[in-house]
Amino acid sequence: MATSTGLPNIQARKGKLATLLRDIIRDKWLYLMLLPGVIYFIIFKYVPMYGVTMAFMDYKPYTGFLGSPWVGFKHFERFFSEPQFGMLFRNTVILAVYNLAFFFPMPIILSLMMNEVRRSKFKNFVQTLIYIPHFVSWVVVVGIFYMLLTTENGILNELLYQITGKKIAFLLEAEWFRTMIISQSIWKEIGWGTVIFMAALAGVDLQQYEAARIDGASRWRQLWHITLPAIRSTIVILFILRLGNFLDSGFEHIFLMLTPTNREVGEVFDTYVYTKGMTQAQYSYSAAVGLFKSTIGLVLVLGSNWLAKRFGEEGIY
- pLDDT recorded at residue 7: 66
pTM of the model: 0.83
Residue 1 has pLDDT above 50, yes or no: no
Torsion of CA 141, 144, 146, 150, to 10 degrees: -150
CA atoms of 68 and 149, how far apart (whole Å): 49
Tens digits of residue pLDDT in 147-201: 999 888 888 888 998 998 888 888 888 999 999 999 999 999 999 889 889 998 9
Q: How confident is the model at residue 24 (pLDDT cuts 50, 70, 90)?
A: confident
Instruction: Please give the pLDDT value at position 202.
Output: 87
Mean pLDDT of 86-100: 94
Mean pLDDT of 103-131: 90
The pLDDT of residue 3 is above 70: no
In single-letter form, the type of residue at position 275 comes to T
pLDDT given for residue 6 in this prediction: 63
- 145-154 long-range Cβ contacts below 8 angstroms, 24+ apart: 145/171, 145/180, 145/184, 146/171, 149/180
The fraction of the chain above a pLDDT of 70, given in percent, is: 97
Residues forming beta bridges with residue 57, ordered by sequence position: 70
